[in-house]
Amino acid sequence: MVDYQRPLSFGLSVEPSATSLDRIAALTDAAEAGGLDLISVQDHPYQPGFLETWTLISFLAARTERVRFFPGVANLPLRAPAMLAKAAASLDLLSGGRVELAVGGGSYTDAITGMGGPLRTGSGLVESTEEAIEVIRLAWQDQPATFTGSHYRLQDHQPGPSPAHPIELWLGAFRNRMLALTGRRSDGWVAPLNIYLPPENVPAAQQVIDDAARAAGREPARIRRIYNVMATVGQADASEGVSGSPEELAEIFAGWATELGFDTFVFWPTDPTPEQVRLFADEVVPLTRELVAGIRSDSTATTP
């Protein structure tokens, strides 16, 4: 059982389908109206039916005022890290500080190379991702940057403009070497969907992150833990993910927060409708917050 005692956040994932812009806008509006904290947009640019992620995020940010956005997760082999940092900082300025950045090494190697990206696997994938993290951080500072790596280079790069707020840099990770990199270098872990990383496999992954963080002199509680959750509100017989009444789902989320260490939950509705988003935001989220507050209060009261 692990609880890093971090404040809870809740978000929504939208699929960037080029034929579903009205639905995407309606889901985003429901998330904004419901008080959700984040909206995530998948980044699979090689998918012919998908809109380009940063362009879609920019469009959605322009029609909202409060909710924050992040790519879930940005495909590093197809996005030069210095340009990615520039894009994130620019949109953060334009949106009033409502952008975070999540990156990943890219899983679909054939599709990536087919689009002209480099083939990166094994240790090369981990090494290039770590270099990209360094380049992005250098590109957000306020002084000239030079970096020489095996995969990326900067030569007297003049960063700017600065983002409107300190953007968090999260890493999508599944295997141990990337989990360890998360602990060493990132501000947060973007875990795979619960149908790919079931709850019973989470503690081992969290341990890898925590051990790497401590070895690097970092406090594990500094690292945000984000769980992508496929779920259905109000149906107990959904074929994928978790399902149930708002009360049942809140108990599940509260357990994942106080026993598995997650602090941020991104809702992937199996039925992507504004009504599902409203049920999640209006009923599941406040019930989860209430349960977690009670569990943490009881834990504090019984701690010697």
Q: Are 249 and 212 in contact (CB under 8 A)?
A: no
Residue 128 placed within a domain: yes
**Which residue in the block uniquely carries the two structure tokens 């990326």?**
152
- Higher-pLDDT residue of 119 and 58 is 58
Dihedral (Cα; 35, 42, 161, 168), 10-degree rounding? 60
C-alpha distances in Å from residue 202, one per residue of 83, 142, 176:
33, 38, 12
Q: Residue 304 — pLDDT band, cuts 50, 70, 90? A: low
**Pairing mode of beta strands 242-244, 188-193:** unpaired
**Is pLDDT of 29 > 60?**
yes
Q: Are 268 and 230 in contact (CB under 8 A)?
A: yes
AA identity, residue 227: Y
pLDDT at 298: 83
Cis preceding-peptide flag for 161 (omega within 30 of 0): yes
**Is pLDDT of 301 > 80?**
no
Cis preceding-peptide flag for 277 (omega within 30 of 0): no
**Mean pLDDT, residues 186-215 taken together:** 97
Residue 67 placed within a domain: yes
**Is pLDDT of 303 > 60?**
no
Counting residues of the chain whose pLDDT is more than 90, the rounded percentage is 92
**Is pLDDT of 126 > 70?**
yes
Residue 296 placed within a domain: no
As a whole number of Å, the CA-based R_g of the chain is: 19
Six token digits for residue 149 = 């790596």
**H-type alpha helices, the chain:** 21-34, 53-62, 81-95, 109-114, 122-139, 176-185, 202-215, 246-259, 274-279, 285-302
Q: Are 131 and 65 in contact (CB under 8 A)?
A: no
Residue 111 placed within a domain: yes
Residue 254 placed within a domain: no
pLDDT at 299: 78
pLDDT digits (tens, 9 = 90+) for 42-63: 999 999 999 999 999 999 999 9
Residue 178 placed within a domain: yes
Residue 303 placed within a domain: no
**Is pLDDT of 233 > 60?**
yes
**Is pLDDT of 227 > 90?**
yes
**Is pLDDT of 238 > 70?**
no
Half-sphere exposure of 34 (CA within 13 A, CB side): 27
Short-list 126, 133, 127, CA closest to 79: 133
Which class for 250: exposed (0-12), middle (13-18), buried (19 or more C-beta within 10 A)? buried
Domain with 27 in it: 9-224
Q: Which of 89-93, 120-124, 185-189, 243-247 has the lowest mean pLDDT?
A: 120-124
Q: Are 32 and 64 in contact (CB under 8 A)?
A: yes
What mean pLDDT is reported for the chain? 95
pTM value > 0.85? yes
Query: How many separate domains does the chain show?
Result: 1
Residue 281 placed within a domain: no
**Mean pLDDT, residues 126-141 taken together:** 97
Short-list 71, 112, 78, CA closest to 226: 71
Whole-number Å distance between alpha carbons of 113 and 282: 43
pLDDT at 240: 82
Domain CATH code at residue 138:
3.20.20.30
**Is pLDDT of 85 > 70?**
yes
Counting residues of the chain whose pLDDT is more than 70, the rounded percentage is 97
**Mean pLDDT, residues 120-145 taken together:** 95
**Is pLDDT of 292 > 70?**
yes
